[in-house]
Amino acid sequence: PFWAAITAGFIRNKGFNVRILDANAENIDTLETAEKIKQENPKLVCIVVYGQHPSASTQLMYNGPVFLKAYAL
C-alpha cells in the first residue's frame, strides 16, 4: 500500500507510532477492519482507498461510510 506507507512515514517523522492495517492483504471485510482498529484505540485513523486502476477507488469507496458507522459504534 504505497500511499499508506507515504502517509505513515510522514506521521512517524512527526514523532508518532504508526501501524498499517492492510485489509486486502489480511483478507478481512470492512466490519472486521473496524473492529481491529477499535481494539487498538488509536488517536488518529487514516483510511486510504485505492486500487490498481484509478477507477477501482470509486468502486471501493462505498465501504467508507460502512466503516465509519461500524467504527463509531
**pLDDT band at 16; cut points 50, 70, 90:** very high
Measured distance CA(31)–CA(39) in Å, rounded: 13
Across 48-52, average pLDDT: 71
pLDDT for position 14: 96
Domain boundaries, the chain: 2-72
Residues 5-32, mean pLDDT to the nearest whole number: 93
Pull the grid cell for residue 38: 477499535
Closest CA to 70 of 42, 29, 21: 29
CA 14 to CA 30: how far, in whole Å? Answer: 28
Higher pLDDT, 1 or 39: 39
pTM of the model: 0.72
Cell numbers placing 20 = 498499517
CA proximity to 18, closest of 48, 39, 45: 45
